[in-house]
Amino acid sequence: MLSKIGILSTLISTILSFLLVYQSFSEVKSKNNIISKKFYYLSFYQLLFIIFSFLILLFGYIFSDFSLINVYENSHTTKPLFYKITGTWGNHEGSLLLWINIMVLFSFLFLVYKKNTEKKFKLFTLIFQNILILFFLIFLLTNSNPFSEIYPAPSQGMGLNPILQDPALGIHPPLLYLGFVSSSIYFSAALASLICRLEANVFAKFIKLWVVISWSFQTLGILVGSIWAYYELGWGGYWFWDPVENSSLMPWFLMTALFHSLLVLEKKNGLYAWVLILSILTFIMSVTGTFLVRSGILNSVHTFANDPSRGLFILIFLAFMISMSLIILFKYFPNEKNNFLFLSKESFVLFNNWFMIFFLTVVLIGTLYPLFLEVLSKEKVSVGPAYYNIVLAPFIVPFLFLMSYGPQSKWFSSKLVDVKKMFFIILLSFSLVFIFANFEKDSSFITTLILVFSIYLILQSFLDLYTSIKNNSFNLSRSISHLGFGMLIFFISTNNILSTESNFNLKVGETKKLTNYSIKFNNLKILKEKNYETLVGNFLITDIKNYKEENLKPEIRVYNQPKIVTYESSIKSKILSDTYLTMSNLAGSEFYSIRFQTKPFMNLIWISVLIISAGGFLRILRRENK
C-alpha cells in the first residue's frame, strides 16, 4: 500500500514539474508583469506531494514495512527509533528523494520571495530549476525507486550499516544537502539572468540571500561530518582528505568566492560574468561530487553504492548541464569592463577569488589524479595529507594577510589603511608566537608564519567586532566569520605541532611506558546491547608529567543486522586537549593492537567552524548589506 501511495505522490510531483515548465514558457510571452497565481498553486502542490512521498518512505522505516525493498535493505526491527528515521536518507534512494525535496523547496521559496519583481527572470529560473527537478525525478523513478516492492514481504530487514548508526551522521546529510543542493537555485537563476539580460546589481541582490543560506548550511554539514569521522572511524584528527570529504569541500570554495564577488557586484557593474560562471560552477561541482560518490568510482567509507548505471545517468545529466550552460553563456555572455584600483576593497575580493580557485584546483587534482592514473596505468595510488600540506601551506600565509587587510580597505579607493596600526598588530602577533615557540621547538618556518598571521587575523577581527558594535554598523557577520577562520587556522596549526601518536601491541594486564604517559590494559568485558555485542577494553592512562589518571574504554562491536565488526574509539575530550585510544584484535593472538593519540584543541577547532557558520546565519537574520 505504501509503495503505491509513494509512487503515485512522486508521479504527481513529476507531472506538476512538467506543467510548471510548460506553463512558464507560455507565460513568459505574456506582457503582463504580474506572475499568475496558478504558478504559486502549482509550485505549492509540487512541494506538498514531494514532501508527502518522503513522509511515506519515513513511515515505512518507522513501522518497519519490509514490503519496501529500500526499508528491507536498510532497516531492522531492533534498530532504535532515531536510526530508523535517519535510515530514511542513509542510503542512495532515500537520500536522492531528500535531494529532490530540497530542490523543490528552494524552487517554491524562490518563487514566493519578492513576489512582484522581475517576472520574466523568475519564470525562467522556475523553468531551469524544474528541468533539473524533472531529471532527478526520472532518475528516481526509473533507476533508484525507494518505493519498489518485494513479494512476499520478509518478516525482518537486513539492517543499516553500523557506522551510519550515529547521531552526528543522522543530521550530517540533511545539513550538507541544504548546502550544496540549494546551490541549484542560483545555477537556475544565473541561466535565467543571462537570457533575461538582468541588470548586474539586481541579480546580485536577488541571489545573495540564497548563496549565504547554502554556504552556511554547507559549513555546518562539513563540520558535523568531520566530527563524526573523528570519533566513529577511529582515524583521529579533524580532516583526512578522504575523496568524499573533498567532494563536499570543493563546492564550499566556490560558494565562498561567489558570495564575496556578489558584494562587489552589488556596488559596481563589474565581475558580473564571473559571478554568473561561479553560480553555474557551484552546482556543477556539487553534481560532480555526487557522481563520484554514487557511481562507485571512489573507494571510501562514505560512498553510497557501487552501481555503474547510476553513475552513467548522473554523468549524462552532468554533461547535459555543462552543455546547456556553455550554450547559454556563449550566446548571452555579458559585455563589461572591470577596472579595479589595486588596493581597493574590490581588488581584495578578487584576490580572495583567486585563492579560492587555487585551493579548489589543488583539492580537485588530489581527488581525481589517483582515478585517472588507475584508468591509464592500472596503478593504485592514494594522495594523502602530505600533498595537501606541502602545496597549500605556503599560500595560507598571504591569504590570511589579505583576509586581515582587505576589510580595512575602502570601496573604489586605493588609499592605504592605517599602516602603523597594521604593523603594530603584526608585531604583537609575532611576539605571541615567539612566546609559544619557547616551549615548542618543532614548528617549521611556514608553520610559524601561519601562526603569526592567523593571530593577526584574530586580533584584527576582534578590533572589527569592537568597531562594529561601537558604531552600530553592519559588519558583524563578516567579523565573526573571519574571526572563526583565524581561530580555525591557529588551532589546526597548533594541533599539528603538538599532537602525538603511538602504535603498539598489548595484552590484558600489561603496561606500556611512553615519554609522558603510562598505559595499562586492565581488563576486558563482553556486553550485549539491543542490536550488537561489544568487547570493551578498560585502560588506565596515567599522565606522568601532570600526575593525572583517566580511564579509556575502546570497543570492538559485532553487529547482528548486518553482520559487521566495528572498532569504536574512546575519547576523553577536554576543552584544550583530547586523549584518544582505539584497539583492534590480532587474529589468533591474545595481543591487541593499540593506537594512542593526544589531540590538542580539537573542541576549539569545532567551535571555530561553528563561529564561521554563525557569521553566515547572522547575515541571513540581519540581512546585512556590507
For 283-302, the pLDDT digits (tens) are: 999 988 877 777 666 555 54
Given a cut of 70, whether residue 114 has pLDDT beyond it is yes
Q: What is the pLDDT of residue 296?
A: 61
pLDDT at 68: 92
The strand pair at 511-513 and 564-568 is best described as: unpaired
More confident residue, 48 or 167: 48
Give the lowest-confidence range in 96-105, 331-340, 502-511, 528-537: 331-340
Average pLDDT over residues 245-273: 89
Q: Which three cell numbers stand for residue 159?
A: 539492517
pLDDT-derived band at 473, boundaries 50, 70, 90: low
Q: What's the full length of the chain, in residues? A: 626
Section 315-336 average pLDDT: 89
CA nearest neighbour of 490 among 531, 447, 524, 529: 447
Per-range mean pLDDT, top range of 16-20, 431-435, 554-558:
16-20
Instruction: Please tell me the predicted confidence (pLDDT) of residue 444.
Output: 80
Give the pLDDT band (50/70/90) at residue 322.
Answer: very high
The pLDDT > 70 percentage for the chain reads 94
Band (pLDDT 50/70/90 cuts) for residue 217 is very high
Dist. CA 284–CA 354, nearest whole Å: 19
The more confidently predicted of residues 565 and 191 is: 191
Cis peptide before 554 (omega within 30 of 0): no
**For 374-406, what is each residue's pLDDT tens digit?**
777 777 777 888 899 899 999 999 999 999 988
Q: What is the mean pLDDT of residues 362-385?
A: 81
What secondary structure letter does DSSP report for 299?
Answer: -
Provide mean pLDDT across the span 604-623. 90
Q: Long-range CB contacts (< 8 A, 24+ apart) of 128-131?
A: 128/187, 128/188, 128/191, 128/192, 129/103, 129/184, 129/185, 129/188, 130/17, 130/18, 130/20, 130/21, 130/24, 131/21
Round the average pLDDT of the chain to a whole number and report it.
87
Check if the beta carbon of residue 7 is closer than 8 Å to that of residue 52: no
- Categorize the per-residue pLDDT at 303 as very low, low, confident or very high, splitting at 50, 70 and 90: low
On the question of pLDDT at 307 being above 70, the answer is: no
Phi, psi angles (nearest 5°) of residue 500: -130, 155
β-strand partners of 593:
505, 584
| pLDDT reported for residue 122 | 92
Residues β-bridged to residue 559: 532, 564
Judged against a pLDDT cut of 60, whether residue 121 lies above it is answered with yes
User: What value does the mean pLDDT take over residues 37-54?
Assistant: 95
130-138: average pLDDT: 95
Q: Which of 38, 35, 51, 87 is nearest to 66 (CA)?
A: 87
Measure the CA–CA gap between 20 and 43, rounded to whole angstroms: 7
Query: What is the predicted pLDDT for the residue at 399?
Result: 95
What pLDDT score does 531 carry? 73
pLDDT surpasses 90 at 341: no
Q: What is the pLDDT of residue 620?
A: 87
User: Which of 310 and 485 is assigned the larger pLDDT?
Assistant: 485
For 20, 31, 87, the CA distances from 26, given in Å and listed in that order, are 10, 11, 41
pLDDT category, 52, cuts 50, 70, 90? Answer: very high
pLDDT at position 46 = 96
Checking if the pLDDT of 250 tops 90, the result is yes
For residues 385 and 412, the model is more confident at 385
- pTM for this one? 0.91
> What is the chain's alpha carbon radius of gyration, rounded to the nearest angstrom?
26
3-state secondary structure of 305: coil
Q: Is the pLDDT of residue 626 over 50?
A: no
